């Protein structure tokens, strides 16, 4: 059955390749971008199956209007993809509050705006899927220089877990996508590297200086788009989908480390309850 997609950040990278994959699968797409004229070639190729729309995801009223325009054109919305996002690099200490907030406005509040604009539409239909683009950094975190970006991605994950629980009985599904490094413009013209003080040279500076590392462009966005179309059309969705070999390796190592730490400190953790033994020895020779 033909599906209607609503995809943010469609002008390049993941978003553009996902638009193409959905269209190649025979679906129709409302493709949003700050500059929708960048989608003219897709309109020429795919005709009225693609609807280019101007959208700044930080504007909730604009998100509602874009969803309304999509329903007016295609009659329904089956899949909403929150892909728009970007990152700048700076130490948390010295990053300007304005830049930190601006990134968060797009990377989290943009997801909030589009999701909450779409939910009434999907509820009325009794079915639909919302796909949230996070990153492997939104699971494992700790990348120097990406404080705002990774904080927002962690927030997207927590937000989506709640939505998935609230809306499951109403027929709305959710998928969090966690890519590793892909050959997109994420670390190119879309990214600004701000001043890095000498004391952060070994952490944030090393991150900024390694943006051309091969692993940061190992993934193929075209393949990712095709995979996502296949996954979304499947009756069963994972709650999270890792994309790229690096994402799988990082996630598995992180999960093993979390489990090992929880096991090592389990007795200490349990001892906080009234009915548990207290005090208990700290593990690994830690001092009381």
54 and 104 belong to one structural domain: yes
21 and 126 belong to one structural domain: yes
Q: Can you list the alpha helix ranges (DSSP code H) found in the chain?
A: 13-24, 40-46, 60-74, 97-104, 110-125, 137-140, 147-167, 206-209, 221-233, 245-264, 266-270
28 and 153 belong to one structural domain: yes
Q: Does 149 participate in catalysis according to the annotation?
A: yes
Range(s) of the domain holding residue 224: 4-243
166 and 269 belong to one structural domain: no
202 and 281 belong to one structural domain: no
Nearest partner of 69 among 42, 41, 36, judged by Cα: 36
Query: Any idea what DSSP says for residue 258?
Result: H
Number of domains in the chain: 2
Question: Contact, 213 vs 43, CB < 8 A?
Answer: no
Q: Which of 10, 46, 153, 200 is catalytic?
A: 153
Q: Percent of the chain beyond pLDDT 90?
A: 91
pLDDT digit string, tens, across residues 144-202 = 999 999 999 999 999 999 999 999 999 999 999 999 988 887 767 779 999 999 999 99
Q: Which of 46, 112, 149, 200 is catalytic?
A: 149
Residues present in the chain in total: 288
267 and 217 belong to one structural domain: no
pLDDT band of 286, cuts 50, 70, 90: low
Query: Any idea what DSSP says for residue 242?
Result: E
pLDDT digit string, tens, across residues 115-138 = 999 999 999 999 999 999 999 999
Q: Give dist(CA 148, CA 138) in Å, integer.
A: 11
Q: What pLDDT is recorded for position 184?
A: 84
Q: What pLDDT is recorded for position 215?
A: 82
138 and 257 belong to one structural domain: no
Question: Contact, 150 vs 138, CB < 8 A?
Answer: yes
pLDDT digit string, tens, across residues 16-47 = 999 999 999 999 999 999 999 999 999 999 99
Q: Does 123 participate in catalysis according to the annotation?
A: no
Q: What pLDDT is recorded for position 271?
A: 98
97 and 213 belong to one structural domain: yes
pLDDT digit string, tens, across residues 80-108 = 999 999 999 999 999 999 999 999 999 99
CATH of the domain at 204: 3.40.50.720
Q: Does 153 participate in catalysis according to the annotation?
A: yes
Q: What pLDDT is recorded for position 190?
A: 76
280 and 193 belong to one structural domain: no
Tally Cβ neighbours within 10 Å of residue 75: 10
Q: Which of 10, 115, 134, 250 is catalytic?
A: 134
Which three-class secondary structure state does DSSP give residue 182? strand
Q: Percent of the chain beyond pLDDT 70?
A: 98
205 and 278 belong to one structural domain: no
Q: What pLDDT is recorded for position 1?
A: 84
164 and 287 belong to one structural domain: no
119 and 175 belong to one structural domain: yes
**Cross-strand partners of 241:** 177
């Amino acid at each position: 059955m033909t599906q209607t997609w609503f995809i943010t950040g469609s002008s390049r990278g993941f978003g553009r390749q996902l638009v193409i994959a959905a269209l190649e699968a025979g679906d129709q797409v409302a493709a949003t971008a700050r500059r929708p004229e960048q989608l003219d070639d897709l309109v020429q190729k795919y005709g009225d199956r693609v609807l280019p729309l101007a959208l700044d995801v930080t504007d909730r009223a604009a998100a509602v209007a874009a969803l309304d325009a999509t329903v007016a054109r295609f009659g329904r919305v089956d899949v909403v993809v929150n892909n728009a996002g970007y990152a700048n690099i700076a130490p948390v200490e010295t990053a300007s509050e304005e830049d930190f907030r601006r990134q968060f406005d797009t990377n989290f509040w943009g997801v909030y705006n589009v999701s909450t604009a779409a939910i009434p539409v999907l509820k009325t239909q009794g079915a639909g899927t919302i796909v949230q683009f996070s990153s492997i950094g939104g699971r494992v975190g700790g990348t120097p220089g990406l404080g705002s970006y990774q904080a927002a991605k962690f927030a997207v994950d927590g937000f989506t877990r709640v939505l998935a629980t609230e809306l499951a009985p109403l027929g709305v599904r959710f998928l969090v996508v966690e890519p590793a490094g892909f050959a997109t413009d994420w670390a190119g013209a879309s990214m600004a590297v701000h001043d890095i003080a000498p004391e952060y040279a070994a952490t944030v500076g090393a991150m900024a200086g390694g943006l051309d590392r091969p692993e940061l462009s190992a993934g193929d966005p075209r393949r990712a788009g095709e995979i996502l179309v296949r996954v979304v059309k499947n009756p069963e969705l994972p709650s999270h989908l890792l994309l790229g070999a690096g994402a799988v390796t990082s996630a598995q190592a992180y999960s093993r480390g979390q489990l090992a730490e929880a096991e090592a400190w389990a007795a200490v953790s349990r001892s906080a309850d009234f009915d548990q033994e207290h005090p208990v020895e700290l593990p690994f020779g830690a001092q009381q």
